[in-house]
């Protein structure tokens, strides 16, 4: 990382830390949502952008994390800390189960089977009134005193998101991350040089599930509710769009994409009921004109700017 | 008939027939999906939306043309064509420029379309429930195996399914266009190299596939309440059917639809509240043993 990047990051974190001081309550809530959706999209990008795995139903892990935390909080007498750890772990375990079933299939087959099995989970959550609250979901989840104010929920979300992003960054920069990208670029060659492709992919799926579960738990903290739409497949494709919009070969791209989509959704929804229409049109524009996403586009421009002077010197 | 009764209880038998009628709808929609997947390699998420548009259009057409039998048959004739026209515009306007891109982009583009279509339906028809009356010809019940009442309309569906299957088989196996499409599914570059306009073949297949989605929507309309969101569950079911049948295989779609329809209707007898999980379990079992589907995939 260059000195400049570090300064930008530090500046960004300071701004985020000061948010609750000068922003009204609603915007603090909005920034919390952006942070947790950004974490969700970044966790998807670990497998989608860096791993090249067609994880089409990522929302299921997000939902399971949220429901896991909620159910432990409401149905058992265990301490809240345990619930917050249990949510992501259940998600990760589910990532393993779904991964083992799906991983034998290649790209598109994998994605479609995952959408299908994820929808099964949705159907169960949607119908099981006595346990998950059915289509009503669960509202007014009891949180520990420490997290009950919007401000403290915000700081909690910010802290967990930053730590998670840092860990994800380290994972991508680790030898494991390099192997994962190698598998994405050429899985046959990776297999030939002795890499266990499936095991690496499976580990990536479990990790992605874990961090998606964290995002789900954060949603419980921020919004105090869970509902079955959190694991509906349309949300999954929305998360894919966040990755694509921000730039899915960049680390912070998904976070940027999440910020744009969440902000846009909030503002469009105040004017019209037709948010899906707007999102659809935005998606079409991105697919046609920004295939590498915003950050990918910026990076491309910057590189061009760097290379051109060198040519002139010659 | 007494022999049949002694082997299969009446409740099970009637559920089997309910499942078979459901199979027809699932097959018609899934065959369109599998056609597009096999030849164009597009996982068309908007397929469910086209099915929904077909059902809503059927409602309007049947109403405008005076209802009754005339209204129904007019709807059957016109609504799928309307859906095909919409898909033609989408294909020529957008999809044809993206065939060289990866599947993910195509899938996301179809998702974008499904979002737009969903809201357009809301814009045009509003969010209330619509119902399409069963045409007078098919009203009433017929006794089945000694007195078991079976809706006449469902019997019509049972006939319609195989008819569509045979027509599709003839189209893909007995016409030049079908043969070219099958060749393009295997090696599109080679087909282009021998001087065939692949782009036009793709457009035709896409439109036929979407026509089938519309047809499914029209045929299902009298048996369900036509409503927003009817596309969301159906598209998942259609995807599953296509996967367990083998991508691109029309007979696979029929087999998958049979498995899906029957496990769904019989599952309700076993566990009424969670009958919905049985088709999914069937899918998991199939894929554990045959990861690429039961029949040969064109991929």
Cα B146 from Cα B260, distance rounded (Å):
27
Around B292, how many Cα atoms within 13 Å sit in the side-chain half-sphere?
10
B232-245 pLDDT per residue, tens = 888 888 988 998 88
Residue of B45, B48, B111, B293 to mutate, testing the A interface (most A Cβ within 10 Å of its Cβ): B111
Stretch A75-84: mean pLDDT: 84
Residue B270 phi, psi dihedral angles, 5° rounding: -75, -45
CB–CB contact B101 A291 (8 Å): yes
Residue A201 β-bridge partners: none
Cα A272 from Cα A267, distance rounded (Å):
9
How is chain B split into domains, by residue range? Answer: 28-229
**Would you state the pLDDT for residue B70?**
84
Residue A281, chain B, CB below 8 Å: the answer is yes
**Would you state the pLDDT for residue B299?**
59
Residue B113, chain A, CB below 8 Å: the answer is yes
- What does chain B look like in DSSP terms, one character per residue? -HHHHHHS-HHHHHHHHHHHHHHHHHHHHHHHHHHHHHHH----TTHHHHHHHHHHHHHHHHHHTTSHHHHHHHHHHHHHHHHHHHHHHHHHHTGGGSTTS-HHHHHHHHHHHHHHHHHHHHHHH-SS-B-PPPPGGG-SEEEETTTEEEEHHHHHHHHHHHHHHHHHHHHHHHSHHHHHHHHHHH-HHHHHHTT--HHHHHHHHHHHHHHHHHHHHHHHGGGS-B-TTHHHHHHHHHHHHHHHH-TT-HHHHHHHHHHHHHHHHHHHHH-GGGTTHHHHHHHHHHHHH-TT-SSPP--
Q: What ipTM does the predicted assembly reach?
A: 0.84
Q: What angle do CA A22, A25, A31 make, to 5 degrees?
A: 80
Contacts of B247 in chain A (CB under 8 A): 108-109
Task: Find, in chain A, the residue whose alpha carbon is nearest to that of B279.
Answer: A120
Residue A82, chain B, CB below 8 Å: the answer is no
Collect all residues with Cβ–Cβ distance below 8 Å to B86 and sequence separation of at least 6. Answer: B50, B53, B210
CB–CB contact A240 B108 (8 Å): yes
Is A41's pLDDT higher than 90? Answer: yes
The answer to whether B28 touches B250, Cβ cutoff 8 Å, is no
The answer to whether A113 touches A223, Cβ cutoff 8 Å, is no
Task: Give the distance, in angstroms, between the CA of residue A213 and the centroid of all CA atoms in the same chain.
Answer: 9
Cβ atoms < 10 Å from Cβ of A69 = 30
Residue A124, chain B, CB below 8 Å: the answer is yes
Cα B82 from Cα B60, distance rounded (Å):
12
Task: Find, in chain A, the residue whose alpha carbon is nearest to that of B123.
Answer: A274
Q: Per-residue pLDDT for chain B (299 aa), expressed as one digit of tens each?
A: 455 555 667 777 778 888 888 899 999 999 999 999 888 888 888 999 999 999 999 999 888 887 778 888 888 898 999 999 999 999 898 888 887 777 788 888 999 999 999 999 999 988 888 888 888 878 877 776 666 777 888 888 888 888 999 998 888 888 888 888 888 888 888 888 888 888 888 899 999 999 999 999 999 888 888 888 888 888 888 988 998 888 888 889 999 999 999 998 888 888 877 777 888 888 888 887 887 788 877 65
The answer to whether A314 touches A269, Cβ cutoff 8 Å, is no
**Would you state the pLDDT for residue B84?**
93
Task: Give the distance, in angstroms, between the CA of residue B25 and the centroid of all CA atoms in the same chain.
Answer: 6
Is A153's pLDDT higher than 50? Answer: yes
Cα B146 from Cα A48, distance rounded (Å):
57
Write out the two tokens for A267.
């503002």
A50-61 pLDDT per residue, tens = 988 888 899 999
**Would you state the pLDDT for residue A214?**
94
The answer to whether A115 touches A56, Cβ cutoff 8 Å, is yes
In A195-254, the residues whose Cβ lies within 8 Å of chain B are 232-234, 237, 240-241, 244
CB–CB contact B107 A124 (8 Å): no
Is A118's pLDDT higher than 70? Answer: yes
How is chain A split into domains, by residue range? Answer: 23-232
Task: Give the distance, in angstroms, between the CA of residue A165 and the centroid of all CA atoms in the same chain.
Answer: 10
Secondary structure of B99-137 in HEC code, one letter for each residue: CCCCHHHHHHHHHHHHHHHHHHHHHHHCCCCECCCCCHH
For chain B, how big is the Rg over CA atoms in Å? 19
Tell me the shortest Cα–Cα distance from B6 to chain A, in angstroms. 35
Contacts of A279 in chain B (CB under 8 A): 112, 115
Is A235's pLDDT higher than 80? Answer: yes
Q: Which of A104-113, A235-244, A270-279, B16-25 has the lowest mean pLDDT?
A: A104-113
**Would you state the pLDDT for residue B232?**
83
Write out the two tokens for A66.
């949220």
- Pick B277's closest partner by Cβ from A56, A112, A124: A124
**Would you state the pLDDT for residue B49?**
93
Stretch A200-204: mean pLDDT: 92
Q: Which of B123, B145, B165, B166 is nearest to B5 (CA)?
A: B145
Collect all residues with Cβ–Cβ distance below 8 Å to B220 and sequence separation of at least 6. Answer: B25, B51, B55
Cα torsion angle, A181, A184, A185, A191, sign = positive
Residue A97, chain B, CB below 8 Å: the answer is no
Write out the two tokens for A52.
């090249």
Residue B247, chain A, CB below 8 Å: the answer is yes
**Would you state the pLDDT for residue A311?**
46
Write out the two tokens for A38.
């950004």
**Would you state the pLDDT for residue A310?**
46
**Would you state the pLDDT for residue B215?**
93
The answer to whether B34 touches B252, Cβ cutoff 8 Å, is yes
Contacts of B256 in chain A (CB under 8 A): none
Cα B156 from Cα B152, distance rounded (Å):
6
Residue A54, chain B, CB below 8 Å: the answer is yes
Residue A115, chain B, CB below 8 Å: the answer is yes
**Would you state the pLDDT for residue B214?**
93
- Pick B119's closest partner by Cβ from A124, A277, A287: A277
Write out the two tokens for A281.
């049109």
Residue of A56, A287, A288 to mutate, testing the B interface (most B Cβ within 10 Å of its Cβ): A287
Is A313's pLDDT higher than 80? Answer: no
What's the whole-model pTM score?
Answer: 0.87
CB–CB contact A284 B94 (8 Å): yes
The SS3 of residue A196 is: coil
Contacts of A287 in chain B (CB under 8 A): 98, 105, 108-109, 112
Residue B161, chain A, CB below 8 Å: the answer is no
Tell me the shortest Cα–Cα distance from B236 to chain A, in angstroms. 6
Cβ atoms < 10 Å from Cβ of A238 = 23
Q: Which of A76-80, A247-251, A309-313 has the lowest mean pLDDT?
A: A309-313
CB–CB contact A284 B112 (8 Å): yes
CB–CB contact A274 B111 (8 Å): no
Tell me the shortest Cα–Cα distance from A91 to chain B, in angstroms. 20
Cα A226 from Cα B97, distance rounded (Å):
40
């Amino acid at each position: 990382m260059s000195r400049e990047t570090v300064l930008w990051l530090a500046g960004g974190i300071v701004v985020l830390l000061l948010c609750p001081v000068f922003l009204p309550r609603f915007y603090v809530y909005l920034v919390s949502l952006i942070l947790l959706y950004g974490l969700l999209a970044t966790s998807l990008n670990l497998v989608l952008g860096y791993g090249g795995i067609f994880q089409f139903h990522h929302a299921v892990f997000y939902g399971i994390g949220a429901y896991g935390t909620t159910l432990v909080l409401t149905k058992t007498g265990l301490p809240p800390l345990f619930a917050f750890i249990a949510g992501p772990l259940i998600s990760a375990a589910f990532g393993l189960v779904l991964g083992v079933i799906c991983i034998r299939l290649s790209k598109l087959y994998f994605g479609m089977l995952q959408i299908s099995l994820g929808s099964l989970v949705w159907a169960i959550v949607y119908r099981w009134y006595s346990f998950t609250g059915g289509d009503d979901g669960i509202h007014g989840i009891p949180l520990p005193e420490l997290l009950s104010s919007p401000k403290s929920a915000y700081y909690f979300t910010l802290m967990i998101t930053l730590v998670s992003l840092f860990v994800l960054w380290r994972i991508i920069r680790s030898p494991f991350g390099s192997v994962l990208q190698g598998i994405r670029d050429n899985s046959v060659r990776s297999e030939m040089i002795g890499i266990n492709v499936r095991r690496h992919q499976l580990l990536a799926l479990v990790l992605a599930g874990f961090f998606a579960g964290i995002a789900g738990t954060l949603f419980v903290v921020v919004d105090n509710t869970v509902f079955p739409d959190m694991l509906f497949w349309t949300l999954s494709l929305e998360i894919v769009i966040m990755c694509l919009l921000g730039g899915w070969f960049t680390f912070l791209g998904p976070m940027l994409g999440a910020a744009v989509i969440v902000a846009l959704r909030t503002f469009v929804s105040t004017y019209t009921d037709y948010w899906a229409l707007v999102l659809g049109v935005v998606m079409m524009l991105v697919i046609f004109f920004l295939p590498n996403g915003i950050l990918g586009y910026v990076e491309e421009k910057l590189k061009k700017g760097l290379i051109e002077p060198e040519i002139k010197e010659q | 008939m007494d022999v049949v009764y002694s082997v299969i209880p009446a409740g099970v038998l009637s559920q089997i027939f309910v499942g078979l009628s459901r199979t027809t709808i699932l097959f018609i929609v899934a065959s369109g999906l599998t056609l597009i997947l096999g030849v164009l390699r597009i996982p068309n998420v908007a397929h469910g939306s086209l099915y929904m548009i077909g059902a809503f259009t059927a409602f309007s057409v049947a109403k405008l043309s005076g209802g009754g039998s005339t209204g129904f048959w007019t709807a059957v004739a016109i609504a799928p064509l309307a859906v095909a026209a919409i898909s033609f515009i989408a294909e020529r306007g957008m999809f044809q420029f993206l065939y060289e891109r990866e599947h993910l982009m195509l899938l996301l583009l179809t998702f974008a379309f499904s979002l737009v279509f969903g809201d357009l339906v809301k814009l045009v028809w509003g969010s209330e429930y619509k119902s399409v009356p069963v045409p007078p010809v098919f009203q009433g019940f017929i006794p089945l195996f000694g007195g078991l009442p079976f809706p006449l309309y469902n019997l019509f569906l049972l006939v319609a399914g195989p008819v569509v299957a045979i027509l599709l088989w003839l189209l893909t196996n007995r016409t030049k266009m079908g043969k070219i499409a099958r060749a393009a599914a295997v090696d599109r570059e080679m087909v282009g190299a021998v001087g065939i306009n692949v782009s036009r073949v793709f457009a035709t297949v896409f439109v036929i596939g979407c026509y089938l989605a519309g047809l499914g929507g029209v045929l299902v309309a009298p048996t369900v309440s036509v409503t927003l969101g009817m596309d969301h569950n159906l598209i998942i079911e259609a995807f599953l059917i296509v996967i367990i049948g083998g991508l691109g295989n029309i007979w696979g779609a029929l087999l998958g639809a049979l498995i899906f329809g029957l496990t769904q209707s019989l599952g309700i007898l076993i566990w009424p509240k969670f009958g919905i999980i049985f088709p999914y379990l069937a899918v998991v079992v199939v894929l554990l043993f045959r990861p690429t589907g039961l029949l040969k995939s064109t991929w």
